[in-house]
Chains A and B, each alone.
Chain A
Amino acid sequence: MSESVIKCKKDLSVTVAGVKFPNPVIAASGTYGFGQDYTDLYPLNILGGISCKGTTINPKDGNPAPRIAETPAGMLNSVGLQNPGVDVFISEHLPKAKRDGNIIIANIAGATLDDYRAVAEKLEDTDVDMIELNISCPNVKQGGASWGITCDGAATVTKAVRAVTKKPLMVKLTPNVTNITEIAKAAEAEGADCLSLINTLLGMRIDIKTRRPILKNNVGGFSGPAVFPVAVRMVWQVANAVGIDVVGLGGITTAEDAVEMMMAGAKAVQVGTAIFTDPYAPVKIIKGLERYMEENNLNSLEEIVGTVRPW
Chain B
Amino acid sequence: MAYFCNAYPVLERTEIAEGIFSYVISCPEAAAASKAGQFVHIRAEGYTLRRPISICGIDREKGTLRIVFEVRGGGTDTLSRLKPGDKMDMIAPLGNGFTVKEIPEEKNVVAVGGGIGVPPMLGISAEYKNVKAIIGFRSGDKVILEEDLKRLCAEVTVCTDDGSYGERGVVTNPLEKELEKGSTAMIYACGPTPMLKAVKAAAEKYNIPCELSLEQRMACGVGACVGCACNIKRGGKDLVLRVCKDGPVFKAEEVVL
Question: Which A residues form the contact surface with B (CB < 8 A)?
Answer: 30-33, 37-38, 40-41, 53, 61-71, 73-75, 77, 79, 82-83, 214, 224-225, 273, 275-280
Contact = CB atoms under 8 A, between A and B. Distances in A.
Contact of A65 (B47, B216, B220, B245): B216
B228 A277 contact: no
Contact of A68 (B2, B75, B219, B222): B219
A67 B227 contact: yes
B27 interface: no
Contacts of A53: 226
23 contacts: A31-B224, A33-B224, A33-B226, A37-B224, A38-B224, A40-B2, A63-B229, A66-B217, A67-B226, A68-B217, A68-B218, A68-B228, A69-B217, A70-B49, A71-B48, A73-B48, A74-B48, A77-B227, A79-B225, A214-B217, A276-B219, A276-B220, A277-B43
A37 B225 CA distance: 10
B6 to A, nearest CB: 10
B84 interface: no
Contacts of B223: 33, 37
Contacts of A67: 217, 226-229
A273 B48 contact: yes
Contacts of B225: 30-31, 33, 77, 79, 276
A230 B245 CA distance: 33
Given A68-B228, A69-B217, A276-B220, 19 more contacts: A32-B224, A33-B223, A33-B225, A37-B245, A38-B222, A40-B4, A62-B226, A65-B228, A67-B217, A68-B49, A68-B217, A68-B227, A70-B47, A75-B49, A77-B225, A79-B225, A275-B220, A277-B43, A279-B91
A66 B5 contact: no
A287 to B, nearest CB: 16
Given A70-B48, A277-B50, A65 B222 contact: no
Nearest to A223: B48
B240 interface: yes
Interface string B231-248: 000000000100001000
Contacts of B91: 279
B257 to A, nearest CB: 12
Nearest to A64: B229
Residue among B43, B49, B91, B228 with max Cβ neighbours from chain A (10 Å): B49
A214 B40 CA distance: 23
Contacts of A278: 43, 89
Main secondary structure on chain A at its contact with chain B? loop
Interface string B96-129: 0000000000000000000000000000000000
B interface, over-half SS: loop
Contacts of B228: 65, 67-68
A278 B221 CA distance: 11
Contacts of A73: 48
B222 A279 contact: yes
A134 B223 CA distance: 21
B8 interface: no
A70 to B, nearest CB: 5
A279 B5 contact: yes
A69 B48 CA distance: 10
Nearest to B244: A37
Contacts of B224: 31-33, 37-38, 275
Contact of B226 (A82, A276, A277): A82
Nearest to B44: A277
Given A37-B224, A62-B240, A277-B43, A75 B219 contact: yes
Contacts of B227: 67-68, 77, 79
Nearest to A277: B48
B243 to A, nearest CB: 8
9 shortest interchain CB distances as A-B pairs: A33-B224, A37-B224, A68-B227, A68-B217, A66-B217, A65-B229, A37-B223, A61-B240, A37-B222
B245 A75 contact: no
Contacts of B216: 65-66
Contacts of B50: 276-277
Nearest to A32: B224
Nearest to A53: B226
Given A30-B225, A33-B224, A37-B224, A65 B48 contact: no
Interface string B192-219: 0000000000000000000000001111
Nearest to A216: B229
B3 interface: yes
A207 to B, nearest CB: 11
Contacts of A77: 219, 225, 227
A19 to B, nearest CB: 23
B153 interface: no
Contacts of B58: none
